[in-house]
Amino acid sequence: MKNVLVIGSTGQIGSELTMKLRKIYNGDIVAGYIPGAEPKGELAESGPSMVVDITNAQQIAEAVDRYHIDTIYNLAALLSAVAESKPQLAWHIGIDGLLNVLEVAREKKCAVFTPSSIGSFGPNAPKDGTPQDTIQQPRTMYGVTKVTGELLSNYYALKYGVDTRSVRFPGLISYVTPPGGGTTDYAVDIYYSAVKGELFKCPIAAGTLMDMMYMPDALRAAIEIMEAPERKLRHRNSFNIASMSFDPEVIYHKIKQYVPDFEMVYEVDPLRQSIADSWPNKLDDTCARMEWGWRPQYDLDAMTRDMLDKLRKKLL
Ligand code: SER
């Protein structure tokens, strides 16, 4: 029996993670949401939901009490590009909000998962094979909140024994809920253009490598890290995980194998490009593999076939 609160349950990750948790656990999987982002359809009908604004500690505590929550998935965040336009709000949600979650977790003895990101590094980290433990000096507010979140989560584990764990997600690709305002979003948008038969205007320049991952692998990582035997973990917040790294040319040509008349032009967005340029090309995920058995299942080809298939069913 597991009772889980998902904060940010209607977002890019939350909408799919909540459904997956409901399929595998018997307990209450509570979809926490903010007004204006209510759960709909299957997400609304398949389990409990309630308003849980991460900036409101009282609401988090009430949800934990009402449903006897033992694990909190904290998925509330602004993605990287939008965080640059609202840096104070990004901090308020990412760090003031996390502190609320950690305090409730300390008092009520919950485990906490808070995703970090490839954005938690910065231009001074090694770009290729970025190690688990290395210099993290991000220059974006998104990255600043992510690295601070890692440190704060580790602090609560050390100081108070709160079971905090997490992974550094790559850009996540899914046909379900679109991301909003991320630097890696182009790798989702490109599939929509291909399926709709539209010209794709790529905001990221050729040659810009970034780690990416298909959502089913990301969901599995979020669940497996929380299920891993604690004694095996040398790290907590956060584990590098990786499955594929590509630039716009590589994904474009991969899609073109299946959609031969698909066309792409470059219209580089200077903000997103400068963010991407400060991020790693490819993470080294050896520690996740060794400490809790992380293994991705999708490569670019398998992901592309599935994305095109599912998006055709959704859009056509
Ligand atoms: N997908 C995120 C972003 O682009 C990175 O973790 O903001």
Q: How far is CA 4 from the centre of its chain?
A: 18
pLDDT digits (tens, 9 = 90+) for 281-308: 999 999 999 999 999 999 999 999 999 9
* 275 CA distance to ligand 1 middle (Å): 10
pLDDT digits (tens, 9 = 90+) for 63-88: 999 999 999 999 999 999 999 999 99
180 has a pLDDT exceeding 90: no
Please say whether the beta carbons of 18 and 52 come within 8 A.
no
Question: Residue 98 to residues 75, 79, 84, 151: CA-CA distances in angstroms?
Answer: 10, 15, 19, 11
* CA distance between the termini of the chain: 40
- Active-site positions read 142
**pLDDT at site 179:** 83
Please say whether the beta carbons of 57 and 100 come within 8 A.
yes
pLDDT digits (tens, 9 = 90+) for 36-65: 999 999 999 999 999 999 999 999 999 999
252 has a pLDDT exceeding 90: yes
Substitution candidate for ligand 1 out of 183, 189, 272 with most atoms within 8 A of CB: 183
Q: Using the CB atoms, write b or e for 44-77: b if 16+ within 10 Å.
A: eeebbbeebbbeebebbbebbeebebbbbbbbbb
* 6 CA distance to ligand 1 middle (Å): 19
Pocket of ligand 1 (CB under 6 A): 79-80, 117-119, 142, 169, 171, 182-184
For the chain, give the percent of residues with pLDDT over 90. Answer: 98
Please say whether the beta carbons of 54 and 43 come within 8 A.
no
pLDDT digits (tens, 9 = 90+) for 253-279: 999 999 999 999 999 999 999 999 999
* 172 CA distance to ligand 1 middle (Å): 8
SS3 state at 12: coil
**pLDDT at site 217:** 98
Can you tell me the distance from the alpha carbon of 279 to that of 211, in angstroms, rounded to the nearest whole number?
9
* 54 CA distance to ligand 1 middle (Å): 20
Please say whether the beta carbons of 166 and 115 come within 8 A.
yes
Substitution candidate for ligand 1 out of 85, 141, 185 with most atoms within 8 A of CB: 185
pLDDT digits (tens, 9 = 90+) for 189-247: 999 999 999 999 999 999 999 999 999 999 999 999 999 999 999 999 999 999 999 99
Residue 278 region by backbone torsions, left for phi larger than 0, else alpha for psi between -120 and 50, else beta: alpha
Fold for the domain defined by 4-170+213-240:
Rossmann fold (3.40.50)
**pLDDT at site 77:** 95
Of 235, 78, 230, residue with least CA distance to 143: 78
Q: Take atom 1 of ligand 1 and give the residue whose Cα is closest.
A: 171
| 117 CA: nearest ligand 1 atom | 6
169 has a pLDDT exceeding 80: yes
Token couple for 109: 């003895």
pLDDT digits (tens, 9 = 90+) for 78-134: 999 999 999 999 999 999 999 999 999 999 999 999 999 999 999 999 999 999 999
Can you tell me the distance from the alpha carbon of 161 to that of 154, in angstroms, rounded to the nearest whole number?
9
Bridge partners for 73 per DSSP: 6, 113
